[in-house]
Amino acid sequence: MFHSIAKIAIAAFGLASIAAPLAAGPSFAADSVLRVGTTTMPPSVGNPFRNTGVPHVLTWSSLFDGLTRVDVHGRVNPWLAVSWENVDSLTWRIKLRPGVRFSNGEPLTADAVVNVVNFFQSPASVREVVARELGFIKTARKLDDLTVELITDTPTPYLPRALPLLYMVEPKLWTALGPEGFAQQPVGTGPFKLDKPDIAGWKMSAFKNSWRAPRVDKLNWVVAPEAPSRVQAVLANQMDIALSLGPDDVATIEAGGSKGLTWRNSSVWAINFHHNKNTPLKDVRVRKALNFAVDRRALVEGLLGGVTIAATQAGPSNAYGYDPEIPPIPFDPATAKKLLADAGYPNGFKFVVQGVIGSGPADGAVYQKVAQDLAAIGVVMEIRQFPVNELIRAVSEGSWNGDAFGLTYATEPTIDVIRPMQTHSCLWSKPWYCDAAITPTIKAAMAEFDDAKGLELRHQVMRFYREQYASLFLYEIPRFAGLRPNIEGFEEVHGFINFDRITKTP
């Protein structure tokens, strides 16, 4: 035996709440329209495989489902898959939920899983981030309508944690239209179907026969790039939910009689250095100096309302593999100056950071605060703003125009610290950080079935990235939202919003 058989059934972990949409049934208010404000719509429209970041995945959670979900406690739960069995080191047997239909009426069967995996293995998937992330799935084999086997090219014990990304798209339409055509008229199993895509927002209608049917008739996504615009829209009853706010925005909304929410996701916000460029950032003493120069406590308390914690490593504290023994990064400008002098930069230096402004809480102010702290040790950080679409392209193609850039170490949806290592390491096709010394440990962590050994390997990876100060680690990302008083049931967990549970009363 390679290892004990791991099998999770729908009854596991007390999953009454997850099964609830099947039993409860929708309760519609007359002509109820849920209006959700966001910063931008997905540039790939209804193709869920192009990107894995916020805010796009929040939009897709109204339309698509993956095979599993990871809950707020980090446990893997059934979703479109009701059970999975590790047959041998390379083979997983998946049982699908019966009775699920796509919004065009077609049933969900093993053919949908096979279709997605075959697409990921084809040349046509070259632009798809999810295809690269799930590239370890070599083939899919249909056993019957509700049973499919996934065969990996290497042992992959964390596969169930990765299956939230295996979105199910209706296979006949996907095959007929191709990725670009399907994106304009997507069909999924989620609670809503897309009626009209537009860069200014999407208009969606309820898919009342969804296995998790919604409790409102329509869902309108409304793009308002500036947070103050979303705040005023909630207060003026022009939006029901405003996403991607900051602590001051929430305070304004609460003062106006509406509701503010805050929670912490499973990502670390960092400024990432291009180690492959001939700049001072190649020197670990310089990277350590920059980390010592930033007052994280002042940043968290002053700009983020004190609702999160400073980062100590390349993974968040609620993810599998986080090492609690790694100490905080000290705020020590004197040592930072000495490190710069030892590295040959007693008078500091200048570097350029590219940043997306407006997609995260107080991100513009955060960049300014970091620049202010670095200036105190003689380092000039020039901030160049660029749109999220350019960030996505640069990550995929390596088309950078600076010396550093802002990006998360995002463990969502697997909630495993090893997930971001697929991009923040030599494993990425266009790496900005590549140290071959740690690559074997990352690969070993991905392939280790023994929990204790896997945990220790992840701790080794976390310690390495901390000791090398691979990035300027800042804080675990908080999220803020504003809601009208008559909105209930909103919750975002690991990049997924349960739209079927949201109600809007008159």
CATH, residue 97: 3.40.190.10
Are 457 and 496 contained in the same domain? no
Q: Is residue 298 part of a domain?
A: yes
Q: How confident is the model at residue 457 (pLDDT cuts 50, 70, 90)?
A: very high
Is 488 a residue whose pLDDT tops 70? Answer: yes
Is 249 a residue whose pLDDT tops 90? Answer: yes
Cα 347 from chain centre: 39
Q: Which residues pair with 101 in a beta bridge?
A: 107
Are 497 and 414 contained in the same domain? no
Are 295 and 158 contained in the same domain? no
Q: Is residue 463 part of a domain?
A: yes
Is 373 a residue whose pLDDT tops 80? Answer: yes
User: Which pLDDT does position 20 carry in this prediction?
Assistant: 37
Are 47 and 168 contained in the same domain? yes
Cis peptide before 107 (omega within 30 of 0): no
Are 211 and 78 contained in the same domain? yes
Mean pLDDT of 142-157: 97
Are 439 and 489 contained in the same domain? no
Q: Decide if 240 contacts 34 (C-beta within 8 A).
A: yes
Mean pLDDT of 317-343: 97
Is 207 a residue whose pLDDT tops 50? Answer: yes
Are 59 and 136 contained in the same domain? yes
Q: Is residue 395 part of a domain?
A: yes
Please, what is the average pLDDT of the chain? 92
Is 26 a residue whose pLDDT tops 60? Answer: no
Is 153 a residue whose pLDDT tops 80? Answer: yes
Is 2 a residue whose pLDDT tops 90? Answer: no
Question: CATH number of the domain that 315 lies in?
Answer: 3.10.105.10
User: Which pLDDT does position 25 carry in this prediction?
Assistant: 44
Domain assignment of residue 60, given as a range: 16-218+484-504
Q: Is residue 238 part of a domain?
A: no
User: Which pLDDT does position 201 carry in this prediction?
Assistant: 95
With 0-12 / 13-18 / 19 or more C-beta atoms within 10 angstroms meaning exposed / middle / buried, residue 500 is buried
Q: Is residue 259 part of a domain?
A: no
Are 313 and 403 contained in the same domain? yes
Domain count, the chain: 2
Between 103 and 10, the higher pLDDT residue: 103
362: left (phi over 0), alpha (psi -120 to 50) or beta: left
Q: Decide if 461 contacts 417 (C-beta within 8 A).
A: yes
- To which H or E segment does residue 462 belong? helix 451-467
Q: Is residue 67 part of a domain?
A: yes
User: Which pLDDT does position 31 carry in this prediction?
Assistant: 66
User: Which pLDDT does position 77 carry in this prediction?
Assistant: 96
Q: Is residue 245 part of a domain?
A: no
Long-range pairs of 429-434 with CB within 8 A, sequence gap ≥ 24: 429/132, 429/396, 430/395, 430/396, 430/397, 430/398, 431/276, 432/272, 432/273, 432/274, 432/275, 432/276, 432/398, 432/400, 432/405, 433/272, 433/273, 433/275, 433/470, 433/471, 434/275, 434/276
3-state secondary structure of 408: strand
Are 196 and 299 contained in the same domain? no
Is 206 a residue whose pLDDT tops 70? Answer: yes
User: Which pLDDT does position 389 carry in this prediction?
Assistant: 82
Is 73 a residue whose pLDDT tops 50? Answer: yes
| Closest to 293 in 3D by CA, of 219, 376, 217 | 376
Mean pLDDT of 321-330: 98
Spell out the residues 6+ positions from residue 449 whose beta carbon is closer than 8 angstroms to its own: 2, 3, 89, 155, 157
Share of the chain above pLDDT 70, in %: 94
Q: Is residue 310 part of a domain?
A: yes
Q: How confident is the model at residue 479 (pLDDT cuts 50, 70, 90)?
A: very high
Are 169 and 188 contained in the same domain? yes
Per residue in 43-64, pLDDT (tens digit) is 999 999 998 888 889 999 999 9
Mean pLDDT of 338-342: 98
Dist CA 80 CA 78 (whole Å): 7
Are 494 and 464 contained in the same domain? no
Are 276 and 187 contained in the same domain? no
